[in-house]
Amino acid sequence: MIDLESASDANLVVAIARWHEPAMAEVYRRHGGAVYALAMKVLLNENAAEEITQEVFLDLWQHPEKFDSQRGSLRSFLLARTHGKSVDLIRSEESRKQRETKTTRETATAGYDIEHQVWDMAVAEKVKKCVDDLPEEMRKPIKLAYFGGHTYREVAEMLDTPEGTIKSRIRIGLSKLRVNLVESGLEPAGAGL
Amino acid sequence: MNSHNGGIHHDQIEELLGVYALDALDPEEKVLVERHLEECPRCSAEVAQHLEVAGFLANSGTEAPPQIWDRISEKIGSGEAPDWGKLAARLPKPQVENLSTPVVDQPESSQSGNSAAEESKVIPIERSRRSRLVMRSLSIVAGAAAVLAVFLGIQVNHLNSQVSQLQALSKKPLYNQAVQAALEEPTTRRIPLTPGGTPAGGSEVTIALTSSGRDFVISQNLSGLPSTKTYQLWGEVHGKFVSLGLLGSKPTVIPFVISPNAPVQMFAITAEPTGGVVQPTSSPVVQGTVNL
């Protein structure tokens, strides 16, 4: 038997490639909450967020080879796919209308690993501080692009700032945020330059 | 760097990497960046870093909603054991050199192109081989014999964390006796694995396939790997490589389980990052063809 709880994410993906459903369940248990939360933040629609979450995990089941543990963590891989799919959805005309009807939901707590939850919340607190420490001129375009699902051209228009400036501020802002995260004890993975 | 990509300079693409990681590009620009990333490791590395940072932005202490898992589970869990053909079909061909892959007949529909959709099509298995192969859990699960594994109270799997258990197990006299007995069975087939798969120079590894399907990797002189690496065993099925398990950084005798009917055409061992990979990322250290 695989010791699922102690297996690394990379181990679990190898097992998923061999149709090991319990490994898939463990990956969902570890990252399903973050995936769903991101989809909710971007889509502001419960049904759409559930659909995207389902799609992201089914994609992993069908194409585990797309995850490369040398290039980054499984969580960032899943979140990147979640974000991409969510943004595609909100950029469609139909869902823009749906998005206007914002919904929220209470999340159940049963079954979630309390240690993971506490850890995630502690990390979220630190991340919030790191984001708050960014200069507003960088924080705003990052939030509008990431959580608002806007293109940088739209962000430039919204902030009445040249497109080139927005591109640079987002890029520099992300690098600066990385430094803030490292300094606060959080170590983002990702291939070194 | 001054390379062009669709009329755009490297430094212009670089400026787009942050917004690319946040999915904030127009579709046309996104295509240009992705084309550039395929050939620029430096920019790929920067995007990977931005994606990690973006992942932190999304971090929250929310529970994974159980009802979504129920739907996912319903879709993926047919309740049937997977067969080798499907298992192989879900893996792309490895992008490594010197992995000599026999030519495999492809379905007509997949010969015209190489899109992801076509890659993922199931390659039909001959009817005689279509019987469901018992691949419960991970295939490197049990030991030299199930009886022995139960007796020792150890169920061996292919994760690195269990490799040390395996090595400890291999020191047990009972285990050695079981290996010896299996090797002396007249029906046991031995597949020598050599660098390049050629018989010259003697084998460094032998795969012993028993009639019970409880098999062994016997390493004569594989050199030790650093702790960040592990040897990984692969079986080639219908032109694709299926992981048969991790062997650790200094394997000696490692048991694994494979159905006697599994249509494995070749075995190969590669050195991979600890934790293993879904498909080979490096050329095989040793390999050997199975004479069907």
- Residues B166-213 have pLDDT tens digits of 445 455 566 677 777 777 778 888 888 888 776 655 667 888 887 766
Name the residue facing A14 among B49, B76, B278 (closest C-beta).
Answer: B278
Contacts 24+ apart (CB under 8 A), A97-100: A98/A45, A98/A48, A99/A43, A99/A44, A99/A45
- Nearest-Å Rg of the Cα atoms of chain B is 23
pTM (global) more than 0.90:
no
The answer to whether A37 and B62 have CB atoms below 8 angstroms apart is: yes
Query: Residue B104: which pLDDT band, with cuts at 50, 70 and 90?
Result: very low
Comparing C-alpha atoms, which of B270, B144, B158 is closest to residue B208? B144
Q: With 60 as the cut, is the pLDDT of residue A86 above it?
A: yes
Considering A114-123, B99-108, B282-291, the range whose residues carry the highest mean pLDDT is: B282-291
Task: Tell me the average pLDDT of chain B.
Answer: 68
pLDDT given at position B138:
27
Residue of A nearest to B156 (CA): A1
pLDDT given at position A164:
95
The answer to whether B18 and A170 have CB atoms below 8 angstroms apart is: yes
Residues in chain B: 292
Query: Residue A17: which pLDDT band, with cuts at 50, 70 and 90?
Result: confident
Amino acid in position B254: I
Q: With 60 as the cut, is the pLDDT of residue B11 above it?
A: yes
Query: Residue B281: which pLDDT band, with cuts at 50, 70 and 90?
Result: confident
Mutate: best of B40, B59, B234, B282, partner A, most A CBs <10 A: B59
Domains of chain A: 1-105 (1.10.1740.10), 113-187 (1.10.10.10)
A101-154 pLDDT per residue, tens = 443 333 333 334 455 555 566 667 788 888 889 999 999 999 999 988 899 999
Chain A to chain B Cβ contacts (< 8 Å): 265
Q: What ipTM does the predicted assembly reach?
A: 0.82
Measured at the CA of A32, the angle between CA B21 and CA A133, to 5 degrees, comes to 45
Query: Residue B245: which pLDDT band, with cuts at 50, 70 and 90?
Result: confident
Strand B253-257 to B214-219 pairing: antiparallel
Per-residue CA distances from B148 to B97, B143, B185, B214 (Å): 39, 7, 17, 11
Helix (H, G, I), strand (E, B), or coil: what is residue A51? Answer: helix
Average pLDDT over residues A75-88: 93
Name the residue facing A190 among B48, B58, B90 (closest C-beta).
Answer: B48
Name the residue facing A11 among B52, B159, B242 (closest C-beta).
Answer: B159
pLDDT given at position B64:
79
Measured at the CA of A79, the angle between CA A46 and CA B13, to 5 degrees, comes to 125
CA-CA-CA-CA dihedral for A38, A44, A47, A49, to nearest 10: -10
